[in-house]
Amino acid sequence: MEPALDRIAQPWGDRTPYGRGQPWPVRVDSFLAPGTTADRVERWAQSASLLHSDGDAMDIAVAGGRIVGVRGRAVDRVNRGRLGPKDLFGWQANHAADRLTTPLVRRDGRLEACDWDTAMSRVVTEAKGLLRERGPGSIGFYTSGQLFLEEYYTLAVIARAGIGTSHLDGNTRLCTATAGEALKETFGSDGQPGSYADVDHADVIALFGHNTAETQPVLWMRVLDRLAGSDPPRLVCVDPRPTPVARRATVHLAPRSGTNVALLNALLHEIVRTDRVDRAFVEARTVGFDELAEQVADCTPAWAARICDVPARDIERAAEVLGGAERLLSTVLQGVYQSHQATAAAVQVNNLQLIRGMLGRPGCGVLQMNGQPTAENTRECGADGDLPGFRNWENEQHVADLARVWNVEPARIPHHGPPTPAMQIFRYAEQGSIRMLWISGTNPAVSLPELHRIRDVLGQERLFTVVQDLYPTETAQLADVVLPAATWGEKTGTFTNADRTVHLSEKAVDPPGAARPDLDILLDFARRMDFRDKDGGPLVGWHDADSAFEAWKECSRGRPCDYTGLSHDRLRGRSGIQWPCTGDVPDGTERLYTDGITWAAAEDCESYGKDLVTGAAVSETEYRALNPDGKAVLKAAEYLPPHEDTSAQYPLQLNTGRTLYHFHTRTKTGRVPQLNAAAPEVWVELSVGEAQRHGVAEGDLVEVASPRGSVRGRLRITGIRDGMVFLPFHYGYWDTPGGHRPDGRSGRAANETTITDWDPVSKQPVFKTAAARLTLVERAGGAVSPAPTTTASAPVDPRSAPPTTGGPDAVATQTSGAVPAGEGDGP
C-alpha cells in the first residue's frame, strides 16, 4: 500500500539505503489535490521542477483542464521519482486568484488593464523612439533564471543583434555568476564538470556554503540514502549555520562569514604540507601549481583559525578527511558565491579537486552549483553577461562565428567591452543613460540589495519599465507596462539543471485569461520591431518552442554545450539527457574532462580570465603565455577581509539566505497553503550567547538594522555561530496589509539591510556579509517565532518552539520500489 507521509513535517521522506557504487533505488513521490485520485487523472504531462536547480523530473496530472497534482518520474537520472516539498505542493500557485490575466499600462499614475495590442504598441513605440534618439545603449534587459531555454535564446538574439545593446543580464548575476566565472577561470569555459551520480561513488562529499538539504532536497535525499547504506561517505560542511547538512557532517566548520578564502587556503596548505598532492595529475593536466603552493605556504591552520574563528584542530581534521579521500566530490553555492571574494574562493575549491587529482572519474567531481532552475540556460544562451554558446566576446573568431549563425555583420553584435552586469545596469538606470528597462521573471524590488535604492531607481519618472511576470509583484507595482506571462505547466520548453541534464517541460493546461508564454511575447516584440538579418530576412526566424530549440541547436554546434543530438521529440517520453549531446554521443555526457581539459586553449576558451583579487582582465597574450597547452589553471588568491566589517555600532555579521519551504520572494510558495503555513512570516536567528548578550529571548520581536535599513521579526534562538544574525530573504510586501511596506522605516525584506557591493571578478552581489545591530522591540508575551523547526532554523531548545505543522492537507504519497535505478518502468 502507498504510505501517506506529511512531507512538510518529513521533508526528505523515507530512506531507500544503497551502498557505494550501487544504483540509487527508485522511490516515486506524488501529491494530488485533495479529493483527486490517480484514476481521475485524465492526462500526465512531462515536466521537471522549476523551483530550484536540481531538475527533479515529474509528470503533471491534468483533469478537467486543470493541474491537479504531480508525480515524480521514476526513469529520470536526477531524482528516480523523488520530489521535494516545493516540487510536491508548488504547482498550486498556478491557480492563485491574483494571477495577472491582462496586460496593464500606467495612465495618470495608475496601472490599468488593457489589451495586448495596446501594451505592445506602447513598448514598441518607446523602444523605437529611444533607438532613434539615444541609441541602443539606452535600452536594457534584466531577465531570469526561471524562463525556458527557447526564451533566453530568443531574448539574447533580440537584445544583442536586434536592439544591439550589451545591457542584457539575468538575475543569475545574483545567483550563479560565480559558478560560471569560477569554471571559466579554472577550465577556460563554463560547463559543470561533475555529475549528480558522483554522489553514488564518492567516499567524501564536501559542501562549501551549500545547504543542499533545504535548497536541493532531492540531491540531499541521495546523500541521506548513501549515509543510510553500507560504506557511507564522510561529509565536510562549511557553513556558519547549523544546517541539516552540518548536523550530518563528520567535520563541520562554522567560519565567520566572508572568510572562505582564508579557510580554503589553509586546507590547501595542509594538503600540500602532508603531500596529498596527485603529482602526476597536476603535471599532466594543470598549470600554476608552484604559484599556488607559494601562495598557501604561510596559510597554516593556526593562521586561518584566527581569521575564520574556527579551531585550528578542526581545520586540520577537515584537511585530513579531504586529503585522505579516494573519491572526492565538492559542491559550492551561495555561502561562497555571495561574498566579496566569491570567485577567489570558488576557484580554490576547483584547486582542491585538481591538486588531489579528483576530476573526470566517478565520484570525483566538482559541482559549482546553480541555484535557479534554468540559470544554466541563461548562461548558455547568452542572456547573461556572456555571448551565446560560451563564446568569448574578446575573440573575433567567436564573434564572427556567432554573426554567421545569426546572419548579421559581426559589428552588429556589441563586443567592444564586456556585457554589462546587472548591478551596473541598475546603476546606468539610476544615472539616466538607460531609459528603458525590460524586467522578465525576476522581482528586483525584493531580491536586489539595498531596496530603498532599487525602489528609487525603478520608480523614476524618466525610466520606462516593462515587467513581465505572473503576479502583481512589488516590482510590477512600479512598472509602466506589465505583461502577464504563462508559466511552467502552461507552456512548452526545455531547461537544464546544475549537472547539465536537459529536461522537456510540456504544456499541460491553458494559461489564465490573456496571459501568454514568454516566448510568444518576445516573438511578438521581434515581429513588431521588424528586426532583419543582413539579407533582409527576419532576424528571429522561428515561431514556437520547437523551432526555437532547433535554432539554438545550430548556435550550440561545436561548442561545449552542444545540443545538436537533442530535440523536443527525443526528450519526450524518455527523460533528462546531459549535454554535450551530439550525433556521436547521442545519450549525452555524464562527466566533462574525462580525457583532459577540452576548452582551455586560447582559441577555444570562453574567457582569458581575470585577476582573482582585483578582477582585472588577463589579456590574450598573457593567457597564451600562462597556459600554452590549454590545461586547467590553478589560480591562487590571497585572503582579503570583508568590505563592511562589524563595529561598535553594528556588532553583528549579517547573513541572509533560504529556508526549505519558500522560493525566493515567495511569489509562488507564498500562494501555496502547505508551504506558506510551514513558514508564514519573517524571523530572526541568533545564537544562545548573543541572545544573552542582547537580553532577548525566543519569540521576542526584534529589529535588525544596518546602515541601509531595518527589518522586524520574531527571534529564533538556534545553534548559529556567535556574532552573527540570520534573516531569510523570502518576505516582501505583496501580502502585507495594503501590499506595500508598512511604514517609512522597518520592513520585512532582508534586502532593506544588505549592502550594494559585489565580487570584483564575477560581479555577483554580496548578500552574506554586512554589519548589523539587533535591538528588542517587544517581549514575546506568549508569541512564538514563526521559523520552521525541521531545518537550519530549528531551535537549540526544542521546548521553546511548536512543532512544524503541515498546514492544510500536507500529505503526499511515496512508493518505494524495489526496482533498480534506471530500470524503472516509469510512469
**Which residues, numbered 287-306, are part of the site for ligand MGD (CB under 6 A)?**
none
DSSP assigned state of 749: -
Are 140 and 437 spatial neighbours (Cβ–Cβ below 8 Å)? yes
Pairwise CA distance, residues 130 & 458, whole Å? 18
The reply to whether 639 sits near ligand MGD by the rule CB under 6 A is no
Least Å distance, CB 151 to ligand MGD, is 8
CB-wise, 589 or 789, nearer to ligand MGD?
789
C-alpha cell at 761: 571578478
CB-wise, 92 or 243, nearer to ligand MGD?
243
**Which residues, numbered 175-204, are part of the site for Mo ion (CB under 5 A)?**
175
- CA dist list (Å): 123 to 109, 163, 435, 522: 17, 13, 12, 11
Neighbours of 814 (CB within 10 A): 23
Interface pattern 331-370 for Mo ion (x via CB under 5 A): ----------------------------------------
Choosing from 186, 667, 687, 813, the residue that interacts with ligand MGD (CB under 6 A) is 667
DSSP assigned state of 801: S
The reply to whether 333 sits near ligand MGD by the rule CB under 6 A is yes
Question: Which segment (13-21, 158-166, 627-635, 663-671) binds ligand MGD by CB under 6 A?
Answer: 663-671
Strand, helix or coil for residue 468: strand
Pairwise CA distance, residues 216 & 80, whole Å? 14
Least Å distance, CB 445 to ligand MGD, is 8
Residues 6+ apart with CB under 8 A from 357: 278, 280, 281, 282, 364
Least Å distance, CB 394 to ligand MGD, is 27
Residues 6+ apart with CB under 8 A from 780: 697, 698, 699, 700, 701, 714, 715
Q: Map grid coordinates 513588431 to a residue.
A: 528
Q: How far apart are the first and last CA of the chain?
A: 17
CB-wise, 175 or 349, nearer to Mo ion?
175
Q: Map grid coordinates 570562453 to a residue.
A: 606
Choosing from 7, 27, 559, 662, the residue that interacts with ligand MGD (CB under 6 A) is 662
CB-wise, 508 or 581, nearer to ligand MGD?
508
CB-wise, 175 or 725, nearer to Mo ion?
175
Choosing from 46, 350, 420, 440, the residue that interacts with ligand MGD (CB under 6 A) is 440
Interface pattern 782-821 for ligand MGD (x via CB under 6 A): ----------x-----------------------------
Among ligand MGD, Mo ion, none, partner that 750 touches (CB below 5 to 8 angstroms by kind): ligand MGD
Among Mo ion, ligand MGD, none, partner that 664 touches (CB below 5 to 8 angstroms by kind): ligand MGD
Contacts 24+ apart (CB under 8 A), 396-399: 397/603
CB-wise, 412 or 658, nearer to Mo ion?
658
Number of residues that bind Mo ion (CB under 5 A): 3
Least Å distance, CB 178 to Mo ion, is 11
CB-wise, 72 or 84, nearer to ligand MGD?
84
Are 507 and 492 spatial neighbours (Cβ–Cβ below 8 Å)? yes
Q: Map grid coordinates 544573552 to a residue.
A: 692
CB-wise, 50 or 618, nearer to ligand MGD?
50
Among ligand MGD, Mo ion, none, partner that 655 touches (CB below 5 to 8 angstroms by kind): ligand MGD
Choosing from 165, 286, 767, 773, the residue that interacts with ligand MGD (CB under 6 A) is 767
CB-wise, 96 or 780, nearer to ligand MGD?
96
Are 267 and 345 spatial neighbours (Cβ–Cβ below 8 Å)? no
**Where do runs of H (alpha helix) occur along 188-327?**
198-201, 212-215, 217-228, 244-247, 260-273, 279-285, 289-296, 301-308, 312-324
Pairwise CA distance, residues 245 & 249, whole Å? 6
DSSP assigned state of 91: G
C-alpha cell at 176: 550563479
The closest of 34, 29, 99 to 484, measured between CA atoms, is: 99
Residue length, the chain?
Answer: 827
Least Å distance, CB 779 to ligand MGD, is 28
Interface pattern 145-184 for ligand MGD (x via CB under 6 A): xxx-----------------------x--xx---------
CB-wise, 564 or 659, nearer to ligand MGD?
659
Residue 113 one-letter amino acid: A
The reply to whether 458 sits near ligand MGD by the rule CB under 6 A is no
CB-wise, 149 or 175, nearer to Mo ion?
175
Q: Map grid coordinates 554573426 to a residue.
A: 403
CB-wise, 26 or 369, nearer to ligand MGD?
369
CB-wise, 46 or 339, nearer to ligand MGD?
339
Question: Which segment (60-68, 405-413, 435-443, 550-558) binds ligand MGD by CB under 6 A?
Answer: 435-443
Are 100 and 93 spatial neighbours (Cβ–Cβ below 8 Å)? no
Among ligand MGD, Mo ion, none, partner that 380 touches (CB below 5 to 8 angstroms by kind): none
CB-wise, 345 or 413, nearer to ligand MGD?
345
Q: Map grid coordinates 578527511 to a residue.
A: 321
Widest CA span of the chain, in angstroms?
Answer: 74
Residues 6+ apart with CB under 8 A from 183: 189, 190, 191, 192, 193, 350, 368
The reply to whether 239 sits near ligand MGD by the rule CB under 6 A is yes
Are 338 and 754 spatial neighbours (Cβ–Cβ below 8 Å)? no
The reply to whether 371 sits near Mo ion by the rule CB under 5 A is yes
Neighbours of 510 (CB within 10 A): 12
CB-wise, 210 or 748, nearer to Mo ion?
210
Which residues face 684 on adjacent strands? 715
Choosing from 47, 392, 443, 497, the residue that interacts with ligand MGD (CB under 6 A) is 443
Least Å distance, CB 150 to Mo ion, is 21
Among ligand MGD, Mo ion, none, partner that 806 touches (CB below 5 to 8 angstroms by kind): none
- CA dist list (Å): 764 to 98, 140, 273, 458, 757: 32, 18, 33, 20, 8
Region of residue 720 (left: phi > 0; alpha: psi -120 to 50; beta: else):
beta
Pairwise CA distance, residues 689 & 664, whole Å? 30
Pairwise CA distance, residues 61 & 59, whole Å? 6
Least Å distance, CB 461 to ligand MGD, is 24
The reply to whether 91 sits near ligand MGD by the rule CB under 6 A is no
List phi, psi (to 5°) of 718: -130, -175
Strand, helix or coil for residue 60: strand
Query: Beta strand 771-778 with 652-657: parallel, antiparallel or unpaired?
Result: antiparallel
Which residues face 710 on adjacent strands? 705
Among ligand MGD, Mo ion, none, partner that 16 touches (CB below 5 to 8 angstroms by kind): none
Pairwise CA distance, residues 762 & 751, whole Å? 20
**Which residues, numbered 159-178, are part of the site for Mo ion (CB under 5 A)?**
175
Choosing from 44, 208, 390, 758, the residue that interacts with ligand MGD (CB under 6 A) is 208
Among ligand MGD, Mo ion, none, partner that 201 touches (CB below 5 to 8 angstroms by kind): none
Question: Which segment (266-274, 371-379, 537-545, 691-699) binds Mo ion by CB under 5 A?
Answer: 371-379
Among ligand MGD, Mo ion, none, partner that 671 touches (CB below 5 to 8 angstroms by kind): none
**Which residues, numbered 585-614, are part of the site for Mo ion (CB under 5 A)?**
none
Residue 634 one-letter amino acid: L
Least Å distance, CB 611 to ligand MGD, is 21
Q: Which helix (H) or strand (E) holds 236?
A: strand 234-238
Residues in contact with Mo ion by CB under 5 A are 175, 371-372
Binding site for ligand MGD (CB under 6 A): 52-53, 86, 144-147, 171, 174-175, 208-211, 214-215, 238-241, 243, 255, 257-258, 260, 333-336, 338-339, 371-372, 440-444, 447, 468-471, 473, 485, 487, 518, 655-658, 660, 662-665, 667, 729, 750-751, 754, 767-768, 792
